[in-house]
């Protein structure tokens, strides 16, 4: 397909001709280099605004310097978790005069490699990745680039550079303790069929291990394909009730699925939480609109993004590599768990249980 011709971009030569100053002076003003009188700087800036001049950052990058962009790779924007993380990242980076450029890997290592290679071609100042699991090729790309890297959303393992996240296994453990303490038996998982979602797998592993230690049977898992949605959660809950009429607790991989599962349970005539308990993950505001607030793990999505931006900005300002911040697990029982005693070593603050 032949692409349409584009209008010629405005150059520094155009700005120079308009304001009557040399291209060197124009360049110094537009680069913020200083050494120009305030009057001449004002003339250059007025001409640049009049022409709609946009700096060619790639030219500077090809000359060997980076541009004020941060390459960010997220798994998906479909489950409502990552948009708030990105909002926090964007606002935090803006405070450091940086702008994010986004790529999606769809939970696929090969896609992440390709997307990262494309983003690195823009010579970004730094990189933010989701999770700690990356291919050898991705790690090699980053080693050659020599850029500050912040990995978010997970803390269980070694990082490339800086890490900001939570222990998903601990999140599953805390939920299982609450389920056992509330007296539920016969739990089931409502999960995503994504093959590379290690964070989900870690939560479910912590949940299953702790249930087994407490003598609570885990009946099995019902999975969905593709993106999360309320209708899928509804269908999964109905299917779980069909497979296991004796089920007493549904552990959902995220809050979208949990919201749908709530309607599936109540539509089937189940008393929530008396007959069947329910939990999600993520702490989405979506849960505030339900008749009963669903138990969830609040991961502080906006705050995580904002803190990641600060961590990256600090690295760019000279902070040493290898910074690590672990976000404590914040479990909120909501109104879909029976009242229960708190386990030793866990304190209750309002409706939130924290380690």
Give me the tens of pLDDT residue by residue for the chain, a chain 355 residues long.
Answer: 343 444 567 788 989 999 999 988 998 888 777 789 999 999 998 988 887 776 655 555 545 556 789 999 998 887 677 889 999 999 999 999 999 999 999 888 899 999 998 898 888 999 999 999 999 989 988 988 899 999 999 998 889 999 999 999 999 999 999 999 999 999 999 998 876 688 999 999 999 999 999 999 999 999 998 888 999 999 999 999 999 999 999 999 999 999 999 999 999 999 999 999 999 999 988 788 899 999 999 988 999 999 999 999 999 999 999 999 998 888 999 999 998 766 544 434 333 333 3
Dig out the tokens for 248 from the structure.
């007493």
* Residue 347 contacts residue 175 (beta carbons within 8 Å): no
Helices (H) and strands (E) in the chain, counts: 12, 14
Q: What is the pLDDT of residue 352?
A: 35
C-alpha closest to that of 192 among 181, 203, 183: 203
The Cα 337–Cα 154 span in angstroms is 26
Distance, CA of 264 to CA of 163 (rounded, Å): 38
On the 0-12 / 13-18 / 19+ scale of CB atoms within 10 A, 14 is: middle
Side-chain-facing half-sphere of 325: CA atoms under 13 Å: 16
The full length of the chain comes to: 355
**245 and 220 in contact (C-beta within 8 Å)?**
no
Q: Are 218 and 190 in contact (CB under 8 A)?
A: no
Is-contact 178 353, C-beta < 8 A? yes
DSSP H helices, 20-108, are: 23-31, 38-51, 57-62, 82-94
| 247 neighbors 268 (Cβ within 8 angstroms) | no
The pLDDT value recorded for residue 284 is 87
As a dihedral over the C-alpha atoms of residue 11, residue 13, residue 16, residue 20, rounded to 10 degrees, the angle is -140
What is d(CA 254, CA 158) in angstroms, rounded to the nearest whole number? 25
Query: Six-digit token pair at 104?
Result: 């999606």
Taking Cα atoms as reference points, which of 196, 224, 220 lies closest to residue 208? 220
How far CA 39 is from CA of 19, 20, 44, in Å, comes to 11, 13, 9
What burial class does residue 188 get, using C-beta atoms within 10 Å of its C-beta: 0-12 exposed, 13-18 middle, 19+ buried? buried
Q: What is the pLDDT of residue 204?
A: 96
């Amino acid at each position: 397909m032949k692409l349409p011709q584009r209008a010629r971009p405005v150059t520094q030569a155009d700005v120079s001709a308009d304001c009557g100053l040399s291209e060197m002076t124009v360049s110094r003003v537009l680069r913020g280099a200083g050494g120009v009188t305030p009057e001449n700087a004002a003339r250059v800036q007025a001409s640049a605004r009049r022409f709609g001049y946009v700096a060619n950052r790639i030219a500077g990058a090809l000359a060997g310097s980076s541009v004020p962009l941060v390459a960010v790779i997220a798994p998906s924007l479909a489950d409502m978790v990552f948009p708030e993380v990105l909002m926090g990242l964007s606002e935090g980076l803006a405070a450091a005069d940086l702008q994010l450029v986004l790529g999606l890997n769809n939970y696929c290592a090969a896609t992440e490699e390709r997307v990262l290679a494309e983003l690195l071609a823009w010579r970004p100042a730094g990189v933010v990745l989701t999770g700690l699991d990356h291919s050898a090729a991705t790690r090699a790309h980053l080693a050659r680039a020599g850029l500050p890297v912040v990995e978010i959303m997970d803390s269980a393992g070694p990082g490339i550079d800086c890490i900001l996240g939570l222990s998903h296994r601990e999140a599953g453990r805390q939920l299982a303790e609450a389920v056992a303490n509330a007296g539920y038996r016969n739990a089931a998982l409502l999960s995503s069929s994504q093959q590379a979602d290690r964070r989900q797998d870690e939560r479910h592993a912590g949940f299953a291990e702790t249930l087994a230690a407490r003598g609570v049977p885990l009946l099995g898992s019902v999975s969905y394909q593709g993106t999360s949605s309320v209708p899928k959660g509804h269908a999964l809950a109905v299917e779980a009730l069909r497979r296991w009429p004796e089920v007493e607790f549904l552990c959902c991989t995220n809050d979208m699925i949990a919201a749908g599962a709530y309607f599936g349970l109540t539509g089937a005539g189940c008393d929530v939480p008396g007959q069947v308990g329910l939990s999600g993950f993520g702490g989405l505001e979506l849960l505030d609109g339900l008749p009963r607030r669903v138990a969830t793990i609040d991961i502080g999505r906006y705050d995580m993004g904002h803190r990641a931006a600060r961590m990256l900005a600090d690295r760019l300002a000279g902070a040493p590599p290898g910074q690590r911040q672990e976000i404590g697990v914040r479990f909120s029982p909501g109104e879909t768990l029976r009242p229960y005693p708190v386990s030793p070593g866990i304190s209750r603050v309002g409706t939130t249980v924290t380690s």
